[in-house]
Amino acid sequence: DTGVSQNPRHKITKRGQNVTFRCDPISEHNRLYWYRQTLGQGPEFLTYFQNEAQLEKSRLLSDRFSAERPKGSFSTLEIQRTEQGDSAMYLCASSFRQGAVTDTQYFGPGTRLTVL
Amino acid sequence: EDKVVQSPLSLVVHEGDTVTLNCSYEVTNFRSLLWYKQEKKAPTFLFMLTSSGIEKKSGRLSSILDKKELFSILNITATQTGDSAIYLCAVVPNYGQNFVFGPGTRLSVLP
């Protein structure tokens, strides 16, 4: 399967614990995005990378959240001191950016986080 | 603030019916609008629209954009139970790279 993959698919944690999610994009894609989706809502943008550079962060991304893409391939999203409000589906998407044309984003299956 | 509104939020139809889903938006310097279908997992890409009045078609699905009135519609003809999903509309502003998603329309097609 050459699509976007995410691990783990499900994570249950206790409030106050740290969690880390991984995203492996489609191999030739230079852009990688993180979104959060809660029940009944569309995905909300968190951050994105072009290669290894983090180019944009949403105000939704508090200082408890950090994302990395160290070699321009896979990415990790870490949430420190989790809160119950962090419970959501965390979606990763990747795309190939060329020039000024809008790049279609391809989504992974998501990681569902439940904070007890 | 950029905003995408979809209607209806929920729709129940029977197989064979035709449905029209609506997406309206307010965004600074619009660039593109995209439609995605989300079943149980990841959203899957359907259409990208950048120009007004040009219909995009894929099988029983079609979509068109009106940049003057700031909306798009997604039509599904001869619906099937496999069309049951959440249909997401996303807008790309010119100043950034992130997609601004609407809340989605949950479509249920009954046999």
Residues of chain B neighbouring A58 (CB-CB closer than 8 A): 98
How confident is the model over B30-44, as a mean pLDDT?
89
Contacts of B62 by beta carbon, 8 Å cutoff, 6+ apart = B55, B56, B74, B75, B77
Indicate if the pLDDT at residue B25 is higher than 60.
Answer: yes
Of chain A residues 36-55, which have a CB less than 8 A from chain B?
40-45, 48, 55
Kindly indicate the confidence band of residue A82, based on its pLDDT and cuts at 50, 70 and 90: very high
Tens digits of residue pLDDT in B56-68: 999 999 999 998 9
**B43 with A43: Cβ contact below 8 A:** yes
Tens digits of residue pLDDT in A17-60: 999 999 999 998 999 999 999 988 899 999 999 999 988 888 77
pLDDT of residue A101: 67
Interface test with B, best of A102, A106, A111, A112 (most B CBs within 10 A): A102
Residues of chain A neighbouring B7 (CB-CB closer than 8 A): none
Pick from A11, A49, A113, A103: nearest CA to B48: A103
Q: How buried is A107 (Cβ within 10 angstroms: 0-12 exposed, 13-18 middle, 19+ buried)?
A: buried
Kindly indicate the confidence band of residue B79, based on its pLDDT and cuts at 50, 70 and 90: very high
**CA-angle at B69, arms to B65 and B74, nearest 5°:** 35
CB contact, 8 Å: A13 with chain B? no
Q: What percent of chain B stands above pLDDT 90?
A: 73
